[in-house]
Amino acid sequence: MTLQFLADGLVMGAMTGLGAIGLTLTYSILRFANFTHGDLISWGAYFTLVLATLIGAALTHDLQPLGPFSFGWPVVVAGVLAMLLTGLLALLLDYVLFGRLRRRGNAIVMVIASFGASLALRSLLEFMFTSEPTYFSRELQIAFPVGAGIRITPDQLCMLGLAGVLVVAMHLLLTRSHIGRAMRAVSENPALARVVGIDVAAVIRTTWLIGGALACAAGVMLGLTVQIRPYMGFDLLLPLFAAAILGGIGSVPGAIAGGLIVGIAESAGVQLIGANYRAAIAFLLLIAVLLVKPTGLFGVRD
Amino acid sequence: MLDLVGYGAFFLVTALSYAIICLGLNIQWGQTGLFNVGVAGFVAVGAYTSALLTTPPAAARFGGFELPIVAGWIGAMIGAGFCAGLVGAVTLRLRADYLAITTFGIATTIQLVALNTQGLTGGPFGIGFIPRPFAALAERPLAFSTANLALVGVVTLIAFVAVERLARSPWGRVLRAIREDETAAAALGKNPNLYRLQAFVLGGALMGLAGAVQAHFIGFIAPDNYVPALTFQVWAMLIVGGSGNNRGAVVGAVVVWGLWSLTGFAMSAIFPPEQQARAAALQIVAIGVMLAVILLVRPRGLLGERKTVSRYVEAGDEAPP
């Protein structure tokens, strides 16, 4: 057994963690398990793909990939715009569906609705783009050795770095900024937060924007290192929930730690028992956490 | 004209098999408030159990016991019920949304097992040659469909009467009491987790039965039949019909399956053959939007839950002696 699974698991885990941050925030602040989160990941990837293609078509000269990476600057610009678009999509969903149900105060009905919306969202992608996988770039990447028999591609390294930056930024936002503190207050006690004058509606809007943007980032990373499919996000849903619950609902460091654990466990599992049961590994982890410590590693609330 | 009757019978057989799944989900969600997103998994367990018990022996995989179809259906209920019991024992004490996530994971895992254990389930190729009821009539499609409709109709009726009686029994009232206020039910000496487990097992058994009914009507099963879209269809049926109401479960199944078939016809008429895969995706979008609209506009569904109380309460205020 080589140690290559560590590198693969780390990259996969970083993406899972990024997705799980958005999930854990919406879970703790809006108080429902949002099944559409996986599909926001797919939509983010497709937004980026469409925007990057448009930018590419508008340019007259040939594009060179950036440095050692497989993608050019249009993907970077498109990714940033797509993060905004995905955030807006999440806001739109909240406006037409979740917000209205929330006012009736039944969290489980919101889960049912999100389950339906999730299927509609990814079927819409399938309708527009078919279920054929597609790619940001057809450039081949040479993986270079980093020691101990582990090889990693420049793209993967870049994704790891980007995930790190986003996590630190999220942590700072939640601990140092006014809106971040407001978000944590609403997550702990919405009624009390309202009493002390926190604008709960604004907190909810911010949560959706951030959740959508991070989902998009995870989608772009997944698209760059694996492929883009309408089901890419939905297939990630179980690892996302496993990561969020493993880390403790509402905890950003927990989500990223949970993501890394799930990612590395999956890669190790693939190496030990084959890729067929990959999706079941996250599920086993999830069950184990729920049975042993339902609050997760960093969580406080049951 | 005869074609139309034949199609009508074929349509109703499928719709009623969904109605049985809906009745199962109604016990779990409608009566007890258990949010099961793994419906497809329990349907799959039933279908595969019955297929293994009743098919002729096959060299490439385990089983093929050539038992009668009835034995297969009973086996399906036991298999799916057992599976639900295992899942329930582990997960029912968790919060409702955790139950949703774990049942979702169970369904994914069951589909993975169906796909990858070639020696048990035939893997991606599925299981064929599942004996069909009234196979002797297969030469005459009309008689075949009608006979099957009669059979599935009787099975649905038995299931309906059984769950309806259960819902009106003291047992059913305990389920609703737990759904409405767990602490109050526990204070009256009812063990919520035990009742939840019973409801979950019973619902799972009905789902397994429906899976077996479908498998024997079609004669062939494959892992692709049991994807999350199936779970979603069943949820749409129950919500449209009115959760908590057994009539609603049956009506919802027929209505939604009717809409599904109609949009299917429309799609195949509008889109050219090479675009059919896309059209199917659009069909799912339509059902998803419909579910969301019903939840927003008419959360009770078509029929909605009716108040079910003890007959002593209806008779008057006097308590039974």
What mean pLDDT, rounded, does chain A reach?
Answer: 85
CATH of segment(s) A4-292? 1.10.3470
Beta carbons within 8 Å of B18's beta carbon, 6+ residues apart: B210, B233, B234, B237, B253, B256, B257
pLDDT band at B190, cuts 50/70/90?
Answer: confident
Task: Specify if B275 maps to a domain.
Answer: no
Residue B105 tokens read as 């994971």
Helix, strand, coil fractions of chain B, as percent rounded to 5: 75, 0, 25
Residues A164-174 have pLDDT tens digits of: 898 899 889 88
On the 0-12 / 13-18 / 19+ scale of CB atoms within 10 A, B96 is: middle
Alpha helices in B169-271 (DSSP H): 170-180, 182-187, 192-218, 228-241, 246-270
Task: Specify if B134 maps to a domain.
Answer: yes
Do the chains contact at B284 and A120, CB–CB below 8 Å? yes
Beta carbons within 8 Å of B318's beta carbon, 6+ residues apart: B312
Question: Is residue A187 over pLDDT 60?
Answer: yes
Question: Is residue B40 over pLDDT 90?
Answer: yes
Per-residue pLDDT at B313: 63
Alpha-carbon gap, residue B203 to A137, rounded angstroms: 48
Cβ(A188)–Cβ(A67) under 8 Å? Answer: no
Question: Is residue B139 over pLDDT 70?
Answer: yes
Per-residue pLDDT at B310: 60
Number of folded domains that form chain B: 1
Do the chains contact at B37 and A115, CB–CB below 8 Å? yes
Residues of B in contact with A290 (CB under 8 A): 91, 94, 98, 102
Per-residue pLDDT at A62: 66
Residues B303-321 have pLDDT tens digits of: 877 766 666 665 545 445 4
Question: Is residue A182 over pLDDT 80?
Answer: yes
Residues of B in contact with A302 (CB under 8 A): 95
Do the chains contact at B235 and A116, CB–CB below 8 Å? yes
Do the chains contact at A97 and B94, CB–CB below 8 Å? no
pLDDT band at A302, cuts 50/70/90?
Answer: very low
Mutate to test the interface with A, among B93, B285, B298, B300 (most CBs of A within 10 A): B285
Q: Tally the residues of chain A.
A: 302
| First-residue to last-residue Cα distance in chain B | 59
Nearest CA in chain B to A241: B101
Nearest CA in chain B to A33: B97
User: Taking residues B51-61, what's their average pLDDT?
Assistant: 82
Taking the Cβ of residue B123 and every Cβ of chain A, the question of whether any pair is shorter than 8 Å is answered with no
Please write down the HEC assignment for all residues of chain A.
Answer: CCCHHHHHHHHHHHHHHHHHHHHHHHHHHHCCCCCCHHHHHHHHHHHHHHHHHHHHHHCCCCCCCCCCCCCCHHHHHHHHHHHHHHHHHHHHHHHHHHHHHHHHCCHHHHHHHHHHHHHHHHHHHHHHHCCCCECCCCCCCCCEECCCCCEECHHHHHHHHHHHHHHHHHHHHHHHCHHHHHHHHHHHCHHHHHHCCCCHHHHHHHHHHHHHHHHHHHHHHHHHHCCECCCCCHHHHHHHHHHHHHHCCCCHHHHHHHHHHHHHHHHHHHHHHCHHHHHHHHHHHHHHHHHHCCCCCCCCCC
- Does the predicted model carry a pTM greater than 0.90? no
Distance of alpha carbon B254 from the chain centroid = 13
Cβ(A96)–Cβ(A39) under 8 Å? Answer: no
Nearest CA in chain A to B233: A116
Residues of B in contact with A283 (CB under 8 A): 102, 105-106, 108-109
User: Taking residues A107-128, what's their average pLDDT?
Assistant: 87
Task: Specify if B60 maps to a domain.
Answer: yes
Q: CA separation (Å) from A212 to A21, A32, B267, B302?
A: 10, 16, 32, 34
Alpha-carbon gap, residue A248 to B307, rounded angstroms: 40
Alpha-carbon gap, residue A123 to A36, rounded angstroms: 12
Taking the Cβ of residue B102 and every Cβ of chain A, the question of whether any pair is shorter than 8 Å is answered with yes
Per-residue pLDDT at B312: 66
Task: Specify if B217 maps to a domain.
Answer: yes
Look at residue B221 and give its three-state secondary structure.
strand
Residue with tokens 């305990």: B174
What is the least distance, in Å, from the CA of B97 to any CA of chain A?
6
Model ipTM? 0.85
Cβ(A70)–Cβ(A139) under 8 Å? Answer: yes
pLDDT band at B224, cuts 50/70/90?
Answer: confident
Question: Is residue A139 over pLDDT 90?
Answer: no
CB-closest option in B97, B98, B282 to A107: B97
What mean pLDDT, rounded, does chain B reach?
Answer: 86
User: Taking residues A33-56, what's their average pLDDT?
Assistant: 90
Cβ(B199)–Cβ(B54) under 8 Å? Answer: no
Taking the Cβ of residue B270 and every Cβ of chain A, the question of whether any pair is shorter than 8 Å is answered with no
Beta carbons within 8 Å of A151's beta carbon, 6+ residues apart: A4, A7, A143, A144, A145
Residues of A in contact with B288 (CB under 8 A): 116-117, 119-121, 123
Per-residue pLDDT at A1: 57
Alpha-carbon gap, residue A296 to A254, rounded angstroms: 8
Question: Is residue A40 over pLDDT 70?
Answer: yes
Per-residue pLDDT at B311: 62
Q: Which of residues 221-240 of B touch A (CB under 8 A)?
A: 228-229, 232, 235-236, 239
On the 0-12 / 13-18 / 19+ scale of CB atoms within 10 A, A295 is: middle
Tell me which of B200 and B279 has the higher pLDDT. Answer: B200
Residue type, A127: F
Question: Is residue A147 over pLDDT 90?
Answer: no
Do the chains contact at A294 and B94, CB–CB below 8 Å? yes
Task: Tell me the residue range of the domain where B190 lies.
Answer: 8-227
What is the least distance, in Å, from the CA of A105 to any CA of chain B?
13
Question: Is residue A132 over pLDDT 60?
Answer: yes
Task: Specify if B38 maps to a domain.
Answer: yes
Backbone angles phi, psi at B315, to 5 degrees: -70, -25
What is the least distance, in Å, from the CA of A110 to any CA of chain B?
9
Q: Taking the domains of chain A in order of start, what are their residue ranges?
A: 4-292
Question: Is residue A44 over pLDDT 80?
Answer: yes
Do the chains contact at A108 and B35, CB–CB below 8 Å? yes
Mutate to test the interface with A, among B295, B298, B300, B305 (most CBs of A within 10 A): B295
Q: Tally the residues of chain B.
A: 321
Least reliable range by pLDDT among A86-95, A104-113, B267-276, B308-317: B308-317
Give the residue among B8, B7, B17, B5 at the shortest CA–CA distance from B253: B17
pLDDT band at A273, cuts 50/70/90?
Answer: confident
Per-residue pLDDT at A296: 79
Look at residue B16 and give its three-state secondary structure.
helix
Taking the Cβ of residue A119 and every Cβ of chain B, the question of whether any pair is shorter than 8 Å is answered with yes
Per-residue pLDDT at B205: 95
Least reliable range by pLDDT among A42-46, A54-58, A284-288: A54-58
Give the residue among A67, A75, A77, A76 at the shortest CA–CA distance from A141: A67
Residue type, A68: P
Q: In this structure, is the dihedral angle defined by the CA atoms of residues A21, A24, A28 and A29, taken in order, positive or negative?
A: positive
Per-residue pLDDT at A272: 83
